[in-house]
């Protein structure tokens, strides 16, 4: 799940950047993740994390970035995670994953974080970013009613709109950029199929018919994000942004009644075994070599592992697909 966790924090940070050339923006994102596995069933992952970021709005903005602060990771080394003419260059500094918020706070407490950035396309320098006290919403994100179970059956009616419900959350009075965000990703290499950003108090969402493709496995994420934005507080027009997110992940697929049948001929036999093993050897559905839609991932989690094989073997022994 680590890829999903960092993707969640990355998306939270991407929405926070400034957009004029030469500007340098700074952001923090603290998050906790949950997983929903049924109607009314939500469990914490117990993995609190923090990402700190610096974005220079030109390609190859910096040659190196570090953060000095009053905490155990200082000086915190950063890594370049994206670089383009359109979006400039972004560097991330990561906390460890923590079992509790208290443990995360001990490693990356509120206070002053001095970003030091070495010159490349932009001049080098240093800048103080104030990490505010954590302001997570009280509510746990959850798909309400029978939304989760209906989502599992949506594959039978992908041409129609899908409307679901959730509780929404109470925003922090001092926050000015909070949002409730939905994203539905393919677990492999299909990318984002649907996303929406709504006010925190929203209690319903609608996926328009035709947004979700048949034959894929998906994970959805709903973010309850309390977010503070200070335009102009960065360098040369850049911004400061801090966000605190509770994120719930949920899985569903749009595969047919016999997903182990890799070639779709109504039987699960040696030809399917050969195709399954190709996926198994690659491991990641996101691998460029992986078959489109990653049919060997029978657990719908983006990996082809032994648990997928266990499911495949059952169907292989049956040979005939169910009607």
- For the bound state, the minimum distance from the C-beta of residue 289 to Ca ion, rounded and expressed in Å, comes to 17
Token pair 């001990």 is at which residue? 106
Q: Name which of 27 and 187 has its Cβ closer to Ca ion.
A: 187
Measured from the CB atom, the residue of 203 and 263 that comes closer to Ca ion is: 263
d(CA 147, CA 164): 5
Ranges within 255-284 binding Ca ion (CB under 5 A): 261, 263, 265, 267, 272
CA distance 38 to 46: 19
Taking residues 152 to 181 in sequence order and writing x for each that binds Ca ion by CB under 5 A, - otherwise, the string is ------------------------------
Nearer to Ca ion, 212 or 290 (CB): 290
Q: Is 142 in the site for Ca ion (CB under 5 A)?
A: no
d(CA 58, CA 119): 12
Q: Is 287 in the site for Ca ion (CB under 5 A)?
A: no
Q: Is 87 exposed, middle or buried (0-12, 13-18, 19+ CB in 10 A)?
A: middle
Q: Cis (ω within 30 of 0) for the bond into 227?
A: no
x-marked contacts with Ca ion along 223-262 as a string, rule CB under 5 A: --------------------------------------x-
Number of residues that bind Ca ion (CB under 5 A): 10
Burial environment of residue 67 by CB neighbours within 10 A (0 to 12, 13 to 18, 19 or more): buried
| Cα 266 to Cα 127: distance, rounded to the nearest angstrom | 62
Instruction: In angstroms, give the least distance from the CB of 319 to Ca ion.
Output: 9
Q: Does 299 participate in binding Ca ion (rule CB under 5 A)?
A: yes
Q: Between 86 and 306, name the residue whose CB sits nearer to Ca ion.
A: 306
Using the rule CB under 5 A, which residue among 69, 154, 303, 316 binds Ca ion? 303
The encoded tokens of residue 192 equal: 């984002």
Residue with the shortest CB distance to Ca ion:
299
Residue 272 phi, psi dihedral angles, 5° rounding:
-70, -35
Question: Of the ranges 114-122, 148-156, 215-223, 306-314, which one interacts with Ca ion (CB under 5 A)?
Answer: 306-314
CA distance 223 to 238: 25
Q: Binding to Ca ion by residue 186, rule CB under 5 A?
A: no
Minimum CB–partner distance for residue 310 and Ca ion (Å): 10
Q: How far is the CB of 27 from Ca ion (least distance, A)?
A: 33
Q: Give the dihedral of Cα atoms 150, 153, 159, 163; nearest 10 deg.
A: 10
Start-end of H helices in 165-228: none
Question: Which neighbouring-strand residues pair with 55?
Answer: 25, 90
Give the range of 74-82, 107-115, 208-216, 290-298 binding Ca ion by CB under 5 A. 290-298
32 belongs to the binding site for Ca ion (CB under 5 A): no
Rounded CA separation 166/218 (Å): 19
Question: Closer to Ca ion at the Cβ: 178 or 253?
Answer: 253
Read off φ and ψ for residue 86, nearest 5 degrees: -70, -45
Which positions touch Ca ion (CB under 5 A)?
261, 263, 265, 267, 272, 297, 299, 301, 303, 308
């Amino acid at each position: 799940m680590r890829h999903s966790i960092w993707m969640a924090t990355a998306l939270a940070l991407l929405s926070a950047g400034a957009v004029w050339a030469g500007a340098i923006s700074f952001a923090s994102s603290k998050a906790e993740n949950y997983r929903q596995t049924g109607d009314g069933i939500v469990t914490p992952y117990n993995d609190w994390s923090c990402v700190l970021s610096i974005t220079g709005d030109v390609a190859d903005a910096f040659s190196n970035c570090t953060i000095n602060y009053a905490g155990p990771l200082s000086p915190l080394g950063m890594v370049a995670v994206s670089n383009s003419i359109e979006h400039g260059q972004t560097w991330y500094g990561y906390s460890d994953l923590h079992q509790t918020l208290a443990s995360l706070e001990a490693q990356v407490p509120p206070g002053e974080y001095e970003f030091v950035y070495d010159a490349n396309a932009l001049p080098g320098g240093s800048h103080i970013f104030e990490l505010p006290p954590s302001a997570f919403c009280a509510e746990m994100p959850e798909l309400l009613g029978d939304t989760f179970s209906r989502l599992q059956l949506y594959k039978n009616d992908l041409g129609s709109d899908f409307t679901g419900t959730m509780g929404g959350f109470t925003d922090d009075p001092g926050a000015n950029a909070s949002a409730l965000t939905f994203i539905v990703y393919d677990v492999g290499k299909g990318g984002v199929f649907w996303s929406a950003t709504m006010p925190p108090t929203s209690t319903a969402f609608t996926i328009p018919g035709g947004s979700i493709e048949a034959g894929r496995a998906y994970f959805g994420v709903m973010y309850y994000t309390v977010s503070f934005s200070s335009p102009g507080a960065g360098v040369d027009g850049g911004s400061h942004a801090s966000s605190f997110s509770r994120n719930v992940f949920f899985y569903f697929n749009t595969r047919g009644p016999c997903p182990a049948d890799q070639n779709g001929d109504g039987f699960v036999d040696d030809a399917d075994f050969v195709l399954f093993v190709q996926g198994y050897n690659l491991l990641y559905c996101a691998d460029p070599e992986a078959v489109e839609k990653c049919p060997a991932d029978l657990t719908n989690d983006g990996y082809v592992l032994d648990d997928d094989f266990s499911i495949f073997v059952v169907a292989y022994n049956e040979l005939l697909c169910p009607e």
